[in-house]
Amino acid sequence: MKRLKWLHFALAACLVLALTACGSGKSDSQSQTQDNNQTGSSNSSKPSDTSAPKGKTELVFWSPFSGPDGPFMKKIVDAYNEQSDSYQVKFQIQPNGDYYKLLDNAFGTKKNMPDLMIMHLDAIPTYAGKDLLQPMDDLAAKAGIKKEDYVEAAVNYATIDGKWWGIPLDIHPLIMYYNKDLFAEAGIEHPPTNREEFLEAAKKLTDPSKGQWGYAVPTLWPQQFIFPSLIYQQGADLVDAEGNPNLNSPEAVDALAFLKSLIFEHKVSPENVAQDGEVKLFLQGKNAIQFNGPWMKDQWDKAGINYGVAPVPVFFDQPGVFGGSHTFVVPKEQTDAAKLEGIGDFLKYVAGHSLDWAESGQAVASKQVLASPEFQQLTQQQTEVAKEFDYVHFAPPIPDWGSIVGELWTQVNLTLLGKAEPQKALDEAQKKALQAAEAKKQ
């Protein structure tokens, strides 16, 4: 299985993953983040505790969970601290939009460096390539943490040159949300599973006179998840066998042409959808289908939408979705044996107690939790998300991949606005990507 996942980065002036989305654009080294998983943004950096009790070794833990998912991780940290006699985790939430800037500053100045941190999976090749992280193999072995304890896709991606650089917390692939009330009104009994069912449903659900659409096609974020998913469904990739950009392949052209056809041929989407326009329509009950990430759950719940969750339909030849993952990493500078032992102890605890994280809407990467009755009894979202783990792809494991393909999102946007044709747009994206890749070799 190809391992792919895009660095969340912004498109032109917009991307920030709209927290999750909706993140914001980041530096080259940053993952697409947004944290695409945080829609709200408290931007709180309040630690779980101000100092470690006497006799406990303090472990500073950074995360970008400044949205509604932050309290779920804090609950895990607090529970760990309560039961641990030896270690105290100081949980610090950094503003999602500035997370990698703060991290880069810490790496550069060697000041205020955390002992443990969350990193997006697709950022690992960049930071490991710059020799800023330490392999997790020894730490994991001493703590009794095994690769086979986690979903293979995330483990394989984080294993570079035979070394394991990040222990996964979750996997968040593209999923399909749908408005159950609109489906019922249209007489549609189940969510679509393939292209034919999708088009039939979207047309039934579209009524321009009411301002209602079957599927409002986003022209910006989260196309970073949607467009590559359609390429993977054709058994293709965004890179060739040598790891070079392959953005104008026949499969990529077909994927973009299909998205454009939904707007201008099938007319199941309004034209000129602005950033987050499809989200606003879904919240208003005017967009029946929404492709996005698990991080949207909190927003839908607060809005009181009667929604369902299902795997992304197979639009082409085989299942395939783009996804992301939050992973635990340790900076190379951390060499304190007591702290490394404590980090291992904490991560071992998280592996068995990440059900609280799953309750945020995420599907966790721990096989122990995934197999538990408690996880299986969670709301439909988590179990539906986990169904996609067998065919999830991550961004190409290439350092600074986000900066190499920046032009791609500009060209996708222009195409979906009706200002460019798929082939010419992707030819331009490919030309700029090859230039950027070559420049990085010099």
Confidence of residue 442 (pLDDT cuts 50, 70, 90): confident
In a domain, 418, yes or no: no
- 320-330 residue pLDDT tens: 999 999 999 99
Token pair listed for 128: 């490991």
Q: Are residues 313 and 330 in the same domain?
A: no
Token pair listed for 71: 């309290």
Q: Are residues 294 and 371 in the same domain?
A: no
**pLDDT mean across residues, the chain:** 89
- pLDDT of res. 306: 97
pTM of this prediction? Answer: 0.86
Q: Which residues make beta-bridge pairs with 173?
A: 323
> Would you say residue 177 has pLDDT above 70?
yes
Q: Are residues 238 and 312 in the same domain?
A: yes
Tokens 């090859």 locate to: 434
Q: Are residues 165 and 35 in the same domain?
A: yes
Token pair listed for 324: 């992301």
In a domain, 369, yes or no: yes
In a domain, 198, yes or no: yes
Q: Between β-strands 57-63 and 87-93, what pairing exists: parallel, antiparallel or unpaired?
A: parallel
> Would you say residue 32 has pLDDT above 70?
no
Confidence of residue 331 (pLDDT cuts 50, 70, 90): very high
- pLDDT of res. 315: 98
How many C-alpha atoms does 303 have within 13 Å on its Cβ side? 16
More confident residue, 360 or 190: 190
Mean pLDDT of 205-221: 97
More confident residue, 16 or 309: 309
Q: Report whether the peptide linkage leading into residue 222 is cis, meaning its omega lies within 30 degrees of zero.
A: yes
Question: Of 320, 343, 369, at which residue does a domain stop?
Answer: 320
Q: Are residues 278 and 374 in the same domain?
A: no
Q: Which residues make beta-bridge pairs with 338?
A: none
In a domain, 40, yes or no: yes
Q: Are residues 213 and 313 in the same domain?
A: yes
CATH number for 55? 3.40.190.10
More confident residue, 44 or 398: 398
Q: Are residues 314 and 334 in the same domain?
A: no
C-beta pairs of 75-84 under 8 Å, 24+ apart in sequence = 75/356, 76/350, 76/353, 76/354, 76/356, 76/357, 77/48, 78/48, 79/353, 79/356, 80/346, 80/349, 80/350, 80/353, 81/48, 81/49, 83/349, 84/56, 84/345, 84/346, 84/349
> Would you say residue 270 has pLDDT above 70?
yes
Confidence of residue 4 (pLDDT cuts 50, 70, 90): very low
**What are the distances in angstroms from CA 115 to CA 31, 62, 63, 331, 356?**
20, 8, 11, 7, 23
Mean pLDDT of 241-259: 96
Q: Are residues 350 and 333 in the same domain?
A: yes
- Range in 35-39, 53-57, 119-123, 213-217 with the lowest mean pLDDT: 35-39
Mean pLDDT of 182-186: 98
Token pair listed for 47: 């630690």
More confident residue, 22 or 393: 393
Q: ∠ at Cα 59 (57, 62), nearest 5°?
A: 170
In a domain, 316, yes or no: yes
Q: Are residues 61 and 86 in the same domain?
A: yes
In a domain, 138, yes or no: yes
Q: Are residues 113 and 141 in the same domain?
A: yes
- pLDDT of res. 23: 36
> Would you say residue 20 has pLDDT above 90?
no
Mean pLDDT of 323-345: 97
- 128-150 residue pLDDT tens: 999 999 999 999 999 999 999 99
The C-alpha atoms of residue 343 and residue 145 are separated, in whole angstroms, by: 11
Mean pLDDT of 335-358: 95
- Closest by CA position to 218, among listed 425, 17, 426, 386: 17
The C-alpha atoms of residue 232 and residue 225 are separated, in whole angstroms, by: 11
In a domain, 415, yes or no: no
- 64-111 residue pLDDT tens: 998 888 999 999 999 999 999 999 999 999 998 899 999 999 999 988
How many C-alpha atoms does 299 have within 13 Å on its Cβ side? 25
Cα end-to-end span (Å), the chain: 31
> Would you say residue 14 has pLDDT above 70?
no
Report CA 412 to chain centroid distance, whole Å: 19
- pLDDT of res. 51: 64
More confident residue, 203 or 24: 203
- pLDDT of res. 122: 95
Q: Find the domain containing 35 and state its range.
A: 17-172+324-393
Confidence of residue 50 (pLDDT cuts 50, 70, 90): low
In a domain, 432, yes or no: no
